[in-house]
Structure 1
Amino acid sequence: MRPIRPTRAARQGRSARRASAPLMSAAGLAAALALTVTACGPTDDGAAGAPPAAATGSAAAAGGSGDDKIQIPDDLKDRLKEHGIDLDKWKNGEWKNWNKDDWLREAEDFVNPIIAGLWNPDRMKEAEKPPKQPVANDISGDAGVTDPVPARLPAKAAKAPYHSAAPESGRLLFDGPEGSMSCSATVVRDPAHPGRSNLVWTAGHCVHAGAKGGWYRNVAFVPSYNDGARAVSKETTREQVAPYGVWWAKRAYTSAQWISQGGPTGGNGAPYDFAVLSVTSEKGAGKSLEETVGSALPVDFDAPAVPKITSMEATGYPAAPPFDGERMYQCEDKPGRLAIKPAQPTMYRIGCSMTGGSSGGGWVARGQDGKPALVSNTSIGPVTAGWLAGPRLGPEAKAIYEKAGSR
């Protein structure tokens, strides 16, 4: 199976269906379970193998221009130099160099200098491209902890303004070798900074290409993207599509399993397909992201077992046909279980018609305290867009979350 990949600028047709991550191949099912990622990422398949358990992360550099210039700490300037990155050249287009030798891959290699104004309405709209390589929806023969395939549920359009319906949700934009792409993401609480969180939760495949690639570039979060659900055109202003600003990833953390196993198709790495970003406003100092949007979801790393969960709601910005990435949608269903490999955690699965671009979007359920909490994120789904699956958040997810909040 494959993670739901980020959507790309050129629309490839309904067959390409990822939520916001690369497609993965399902090597662990009794029969091949072919899925497509719905959000973003290269098209190389990930390599299988026993994943390390350690969480991985990276520090990013923030830099701007003109009045919006953000000071870069000396240690981050040094890191840029170590990677051979000249900030001025980077901002003038050097980031478009995707030579394998220059594509930063390791956990600590993430760099994301702010290029003020780069994500304008036109580039945001171009990021609606779906993935190129859909896979068959073959799930015959699965058994054990995999429940029957859920019934397909049509995604429902979220009520505008989105900030009233789901203030924590937004769209994640980034660039990869194949162009601009998009996923979905969620503002989550930061226990280290109560009420002032700058943390965003998404899928691993929305920030890192996995086993045969590295970190994506120009990663930015737009909370309540297109809040009024308007038709986006050349006349649409940046303030209309980004009413709460553009927030650039300062640091990014994903699982060691995703970096070592993840790929554009199949199930490799899918149970560990999650990521946490520490973001900063493109405009520099000011209120935190949580203060700006007025809300942040808690994360539950010990959610009840599937039989005890009566409902989960997934939110995202699907961009592959028949969707266009400009509007927020939601699916609510009682989850079932999906097993990729016997030695890996079982994933959640719900019926949903959302397509590529919805990857990384948060799944909300009642946590252990009975209150709404983020318990998963969209990772993979079939080419027929009938269901979505997301990782169950455990020790590996908690480790990267705590690391992100401590910085």
Structure 2
Amino acid sequence: MHASLSRLIVTGVTIGLTATVGIPAAQASPPPGNISIDALANSRSLDDIERYWTPERMAEAVDLDIETGERPAGGPRRPDGVSGSVEPVAARNGIRSVDQSQAVGKVYMTTPSGPAACSASAVNSPTGRLVITAGHCVHGGAGQDWYTDFIFVPALRQGDEPYGRFVASTLTTRSAWAERSDLDQDIAIAVMSDGASGDTVVDTVGGMGLRWNWGYQVDVTILGYPAADGFPGDVQYYCQSGTWQAEGEQVRAWCDMTGGSSGGPWLQEYDDDSGLGYVNSVVSHGHGHPGQFDGPYFDGDVADLYTYAESLA
């Protein structure tokens, strides 16, 4: 396997994916498995939260990075469940006006230490209101709490916000992350309020597909907003790599992006022309190698989280 230098994404100007199949049905509470949820009790209105994120405050946001030190790769392991998928879907208007994936963007949140930022992507669902990222981008982990003022800015580019902002109404993650900081479960899905135009986030920018139990060795394109070591933080970059099993239920890939990429999607079958693919993991952490990232292996746990988040949308 060879590392691919991170590069600015350059894609086409129109998209044509329209199919939506294979979406698990939403279900009522209690949530499946060990899922934690939080309905954001914002003291400010949605408009106030949008205004809170001034350019100056966004520039101050600290990237939520995790570095674990050197960690050995695991032995051979097989998926322990039935594979499944959600199909990607194009934006309702079918138009792309920027030269990057419009379904990928930056997320901003308030932590106890102040403003922070990660990467994320919209994911297709019946309601069209879901955004997937890393667990540590919504919750501080063991002994900590949920973050607030969470917004998604799709296709952010050098201060330009071509599709506006979407404010989260609910955050979800696996309790294995929230209670134990378990990197195997460093996954989160945010339920977003509709945008200023009244459209959902997926209607506005399209939604990535989702895959689980697809195996440890796949080819992926990793998208994100690196912000350290010379990267600007407000431009979308990519890496391409094969994946392999890392420690525990994690996958590893070659990628030289830096802090700020946390939560960025690992995409199977990414299409430059559509800006869409299937999320098969998200950037979780580094492990002491400057050219590699680890992410949680997507098994049935992510399908449960997706289904439950959709039931709250």
TM-score between the two structures when normalised by the length of structure 1 = 0.58
SS of residue paired to 1:380: coil
Alpha-carbon separation, structure 2, partners of 1:182 and 1:60: 18
Could you say if the C-alpha distance between residues 213 and 128 of structure 1 is closer, same or farther in structure 2, counting changes exceeding 3 Å? Answer: closer
Could you say if the C-alpha distance between residues 134 and 291 of structure 1 is closer, same or farther in structure 2, counting changes exceeding 3 Å? Answer: closer
Residue in 2 aligned with 1:330? Answer: 238
Residue in 1 aligned with 2:56? Answer: 122
Residue in 2 aligned with 1:299? Answer: 210
User: Could you report, residue by residue, the CA deviation over 1:135-184 in whole angstroms, capped at 9, with x for unpaired residues?
Assistant: 54x346x55239xxxxxxxxxxxxxx984431110001111122211100
Amino acid at match of 2:224: G
Aligned-residue identity in percent: 29
CA contact (8 A) 2:223 2:264 kept: yes
Amino acid at match of 1:400: L
Shift of 1:389: 1.1
2:293 paired with 1:385: no
Alpha-carbon separation, structure 1, partners of 2:74 and 2:171: 36
User: Could you report, residue by residue, the CA deviation over 1:258-283 in whole angstroms, capped at 9, with x for unpaired residues?
Assistant: 01111xxxxxx111110000111464
SS of residue paired to 1:115: helix
Alpha-carbon separation, structure 2, partners of 1:389 and 1:223: 24
2:139 paired with 1:208: yes
User: Could you report, residue by residue, the CA deviation over 1:163-214 in whole angstroms, capped at 9, with x for unpaired residues?
Assistant: 4431110001111122211100000011x33xxx111000000000011201
Structure 1 stretches of at least 4 aligned residues deviating more than 3 Å after TM superposition: 61-65, 128-131, 133-136, 161-164
Matches within 5 A, 1:107-118: 115-118=49-52
CA contact (8 A) 2:33 2:304 kept: no
Alpha-carbon separation, structure 1, partners of 2:243 and 2:167: 33
Could you say if the C-alpha distance between residues 348 and 53 of structure 1 is closer, same or farther in structure 2, counting changes exceeding 3 Å? Answer: same
CA contact (8 A) 2:40 2:148 kept: no
User: Could you report, residue by residue, the CA deviation over 1:1-40 in whole angstroms, capped at 9, with x for unpaired residues?
Assistant: xxxxxxxxxxxxxxxxxxxxxxxxxxxxxxxxxxxxxxxx
User: Could you report, residue by residue, the CA deviation over 1:27-62 in whole angstroms, capped at 9, with x for unpaired residues?
Assistant: xxxxxxxxxxxxxxxxxxxxxxxxx94222222246
2:192 paired with 1:279: yes
Alpha-carbon separation, structure 1, partners of 2:200 and 2:188: 20
Matches within 5 A, 1:63-142: 115-129=49-63, 136=69, 138-139=70-71
Alpha-carbon separation, structure 2, partners of 1:383 and 1:117: 38
Alpha-carbon separation, structure 2, partners of 1:377 and 1:329: 14
Amino acid at match of 2:229: P
Residue of 248, 256, 275 corresponding to 1:353: 256
SS of residue paired to 1:291: helix
SS of residue paired to 1:300: strand
CA contact (8 A) 2:63 2:118 kept: no
Amino acid at match of 1:291: D
User: Could you report, residue by residue, the CA deviation over 1:233-252 in whole angstroms, capped at 9, with x for unpaired residues?
Assistant: xxxxxxx5322111111001
Could you say if the C-alpha distance between residues 356 and 177 of structure 1 is closer, same or farther in structure 2, counting changes exceeding 3 Å? Answer: same
Q: Higher Cα Rg: structure 1 or 2?
A: 1
SS of residue paired to 2:212: coil
Shift of 1:302: 3.0
SS of residue paired to 2:209: coil
Amino acid at match of 1:126: E
CA contact (8 A) 2:250 2:295 kept: yes
Matches within 5 A, 1:230-245: 230=158, 240-245=159-164
2:149 paired with 1:218: yes
Residue of 54, 57, 60 corresponding to 2:34: 54
Alpha-carbon separation, structure 2, partners of 1:254 and 1:387: 24
Amino acid at match of 2:304: A
Could you say if the C-alpha distance between residues 128 and 315 of structure 1 is closer, same or farther in structure 2, counting changes exceeding 3 Å? Answer: same
Report which of the two has the higher share of strand: 2
User: Could you report, residue by residue, the CA deviation over 1:330-362 in whole angstroms, capped at 9, with x for unpaired residues?
Assistant: 11001111023xxxxx21111111111101001
Stretch of structure 1 that moved more, 55-64 or 380-389: 55-64
Point out where structure 2 has 5 or more consecutive residues left out of the alignment.
1-31, 78-95, 271-275
Could you say if the C-alpha distance between residues 122 and 302 of structure 1 is closer, same or farther in structure 2, counting changes exceeding 3 Å? Answer: same
Matches within 5 A, 1:36-55: 53-55=33-35
Shift of 1:134: 5.3
Alpha-carbon separation, structure 2, partners of 1:124 and 1:165: 21
Could you say if the C-alpha distance between residues 117 and 397 of structure 1 is closer, same or farther in structure 2, counting changes exceeding 3 Å? Answer: same
Residue in 2 aligned with 1:254? Answer: 173
Shift of 1:130: 6.3
2:124 paired with 1:185: no
Residue in 1 aligned with 2:306? Answer: 401
2:76 paired with 1:165: no
Amino acid at match of 2:211: D
2:273 paired with 1:362: no
TM-score between the two structures when normalised by the length of structure 2 = 0.75
Point out where structure 1 has 5 or more consecutive residues left out of the alignment.
1-51, 70-113, 147-160, 231-239, 263-268, 341-345
Alpha-carbon separation, structure 2, partners of 1:200 and 1:338: 25
CA contact (8 A) 2:37 2:173 kept: yes
Amino acid at match of 1:306: Y
